[in-house]
């Protein structure tokens, strides 16, 4: 309020889907059947932010639900090989931060 900010991008998680009702998971997939405290925390914060936006339409809220934002074990034996082409978000953010890339694209 102090600075008049009414926009937020929330880094959520696909854990809000719990054990999904169907795959591939889409935004129509039911949420809130979380299986761990991390998922419940993300789900509750999504609900709070959604309620804020409903109560005050001047708010702009974007919820990003990552499936694997960070990656795998450094050995490459669990998850993706860290020396290959990344299939998660963090390597792309890092490349932009150190100016190896101009921007991070949308992963689908």
State the sign of the Cα–Cα–Cα–Cα dihedral 98, 102, 106, 108: negative
Q: What is the Cα–Cα distance from 19 to 33, expressed in whole angstroms?
A: 7
Q: What is the Cα–Cα distance from 14 to 33, expressed in whole angstroms?
A: 11
- Which residues does the annotation mark as catalytic? 38
Strands 60-66 and 7-13: parallel
Q: Contact, 79 vs 67, CB < 8 A?
A: no
Q: Contact, 64 vs 106, CB < 8 A?
A: no
């Amino acid at each position: 309020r102090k600075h008049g900010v009414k926009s937020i991008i929330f880094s959520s998680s696909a854990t809000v889907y719990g054990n999904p009702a169907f795959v591939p998971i889409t935004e129509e997939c039911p949420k809130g059947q979380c299986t761990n405290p991390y998922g419940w925390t993300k789900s509750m914060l999504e609900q709070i932010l959604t309620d804020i936006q409903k109560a005050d339409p001047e708010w702009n809220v974007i919820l990003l639900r990552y499936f694997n934002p960070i990656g795998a074990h450094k050995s490459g034996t669990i998850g993706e090989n860290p020396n290959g082409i990344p299939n998660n978000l963090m390597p792309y953010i890092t490349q932009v931060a150190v100016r190896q890339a101009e921007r991070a694209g949308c992963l689908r």
